[in-house]
């Protein structure tokens, strides 16, 4: 069964540090997404990515966030200067019709 | 107002019971998803529906497009069904998914 893989599974960082979360989507998929879930809350959309560019982003996805697909397989989410409120589970998804989610990367900002 | 609502928020059932989780949404959609979220956080897709009904094992999902409502049924519930069930919708194909708040199910032996 095809799967989306995410690394790291858990990262602890100090406030103000840069964090890169990585995702390997399913190889023949063209649409990629990042979502986040703050503890105890529902999953929220961050950004969608198609044809090597952002197709939609939410209000949450401000200038401290960026996404790229550096090598045709990995799909990364960068948070430039982390804040306490960035502590959440971050999910990558790929597909479009049926969606495939990664296991998530838990980010803890101290 | 949330675009996707679920009820109940929490549900406790005895093993073997028939379970129904409801989802209502307020926007036009091309697809509705039912997902499981496991204790470690991982999300697994159960069903994608655009009309009618789908069945997989003991799980049945139905959707009524006119009423903007979907249900997820679990027959012969088992303690291993005790996870969070999430309803989510897409307005168009390849659009972002809009998530509901989830229903936490606990099945007691």
pLDDT profile of chain B (109 residues), mean per 10: 92 98 96 94 93 96 97 97 97 91 97
Please tell me the distance from the alpha carbon of residue A69 to that of residue A75, in angstroms, as a whole number: 5
Going by their DSSP bridges, the two strands B10-14 and B103-108 should be labelled as parallel
Q: What is the mean pLDDT of chain A?
A: 93
CB–CB contact B41 A37 (8 Å) = yes
Q: What percent of chain A stands above pLDDT 90? A: 78
Output the pLDDT for position A51. 83
Check whether A4 has a pLDDT greater than 90. yes
Residue A27, SS3 per DSSP: coil
Query: How many DSSP H helices and E strands does chain B contain?
Result: 0, 11
pLDDT of res. A98: 80
**B88: closest chain A residue by CA:** A43
Q: pLDDT digit string (tens) for A66-89?
A: 999 888 789 999 999 999 999 999
pLDDT of residue A70: 81
Q: Looking at the partner chain, which of A48, A89, A100 has a beta carbon nearest the beta carbon of B41?
A: A89
**Predicted local confidence at residue A96, as pLDDT:** 65
User: How confident is the model over A17-27, as pLDDT tens digits?
Assistant: 999 999 999 88
Q: Taking CB atoms and an 8 Å cutoff, what residues of chain B touch A44?
A: 99
CA angle (B72 as vertex; B48, B24 as ends), nearest 5: 80
Tokens of B70: 């979907």
Mean pLDDT of A31-52: 94
Average pLDDT value for residue range A35-47: 96
């Amino acid at each position: 069964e095809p799967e989306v893989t995410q690394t790291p599974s858990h990262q602890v960082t100090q406030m103000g540090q840069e964090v890169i979360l990585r995702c390997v989507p399913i190889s023949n998929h063209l649409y990629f997404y990042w979502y986040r879930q703050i503890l105890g809350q529902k999953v929220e959309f961050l950004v969608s990515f198609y044809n090597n560019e952002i197709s939609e982003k939410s209000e949450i996805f401000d200038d401290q966030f960026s996404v790229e697909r550096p090598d045709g397989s990995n799909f990364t989410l960068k948070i430039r200067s982390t804040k306490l409120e960035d502590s959440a589970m971050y999910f990558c998804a790929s597909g479009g019709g049926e969606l495939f989610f990664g296991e998530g990367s838990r980010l803890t900002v101290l | 107002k949330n675009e996707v609502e679920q009820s109940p928020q929490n549900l406790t059932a005895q093993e073997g019971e028939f379970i129904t989780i409801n989802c209502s949404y307020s926007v036009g959609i091309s697809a509705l998803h039912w997902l499981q979220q496991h204790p470690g956080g991982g999300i697994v897709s159960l069903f994608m529906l655009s009309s009618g009904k789908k069945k997989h094992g003991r799980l049945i999902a139905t959707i009524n497009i006119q009423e903007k409502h979907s249900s997820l049924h679990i027959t012969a519930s088992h303690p291993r069904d005790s996870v969070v069930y999430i309803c989510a919708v897409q307005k168009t194909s390849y659009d972002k998914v809009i998530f509901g708040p989830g229903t936490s199910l606990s099945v007691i032996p």
